[in-house]
Amino acid sequence: MQWFYAVGSERLGPVSPEQFSNLVADGTVSASTLVWREGFANWQAWGEVASANPLPAPQVGAIPVAAPSVEDTTKSGPELDWSINEFADRLQQNGFSTSVGGCLSRAWENYKSFFCLALGAVLVAYLLTMFAGFLPVIGMISGILVTPHMNAGMTWIFLKKARGEDVIFGDVFAGFGRCYGKLAMLGFVQFVVMLILVLVFLIPMLGMGISLDGVKSGATPEIPPEAASGIGLLFAFVFVVVLFLMIRFALAHVMAIDRPDSAIEAYKLSWRVTKGRFLTILGLGVILLLLNVAGTLALLVGLIFTMPMLSAVVAQFYHDACESASGRPPE
């Protein structure tokens, strides 16, 4: 039975029971040290599980073991070799234990570890995305040609850092080089879905006799009182559908840039990984929204620092799923 243990924010292991016993004896692993082995639902303090997990007697004069870092031994990620079915099955077998607070805390620690680089890269990515949106012709389809690639690049830098890999500023543009066509397909699918939802909203309005002639000039369309409730219900329906799809496909971009699967498979895997975790992701979204609102109220200065947290949290949630699927629950 192999053991893993945490020293600060670093996860180390695996080590054998004999090696783990020596670590306990020399004080490397104390009662408060978080540990994990196969069969544990999550990481627990050694003092809480020691009595139920007797160890061999420590070896006198044994050379201290230098346990490999979990992050260092999984940089490429064994999960990248699994099919989406294998990934989802392993995740279901091992369980996926991640909480709103835990995910946010790990994302923030990751962000802080390369704060200036992350902040600069994300700000440049947002500025380029907005600039592309204003370009003639290109702006109309920037949601296919540019936005998905910048979104993927922003999560990519946080994912690499969470895995213990070196990150450079240019990594924020990795979506253009690693998988341009795949991310463009993600953008195209998203564009088609949003177009369908817009039509779902507009066609009934036209059927109710509501004129949209003045919309181009900025005028608000006149809505008859008898149609107001119907329009309100329709708007609520479309909003709920959009929110639901955003949550279930929140990991598609980071999966597309990280895994060799197709764009459609990235959507499928995101759907399966987020299954049963809707409220957790919703909770993360609400907190991020509140952080950004607070940043906006702080004369927009705070917003500069809180914006990167969205990418950090998405990357962390996916990284937690990879860790859990590999048998190393993050919590």
Q: pTM of the prediction?
A: 0.74
Give the mean pLDDT of 133-161: 93
pLDDT digits (tens, 9 = 90+) for 211-244: 665 555 555 666 666 667 778 888 899 999 999 9
In the chain, how many H helices and how many E strands?
A: 15, 4
Q: Residue 38's pLDDT band (boundaries 50, 70, 90)? A: confident
pLDDT digits (tens, 9 = 90+) for 88-108: 998 888 888 788 999 999 999
Would you say 45 and 32 are in contact if contact means Cβ atoms under 8 Å apart?
yes
260: pLDDT strictly greater than 60: yes
Instruction: Give CA–CA dist 23/43, Å, rounded.
Output: 17
Provide the token pair at 317. Answer: 């949630």
CB atoms within 10 A of CB 232: 11
- Amino acid letter, residue 240: V
Confidence (pLDDT) at 115: 94
pLDDT digits (tens, 9 = 90+) for 48-64: 999 999 999 887 655 55
pLDDT digits (tens, 9 = 90+) for 69-94: 544 433 445 567 788 999 999 888 88
Confidence (pLDDT) at 233: 86
**Where along the chain do its domains lie?**
3-70, 78-325
Residue in 194, 177, 184, 162 with CA at minimum distance from that of residue 314: 162
| For residue 14, cis peptide bond before it (omega within 30 degrees of 0) | yes
15: pLDDT strictly greater than 60: yes
Label residue 83 left, alpha or beta by phi (over 0 means left) and psi (-120 to 50 means alpha): beta
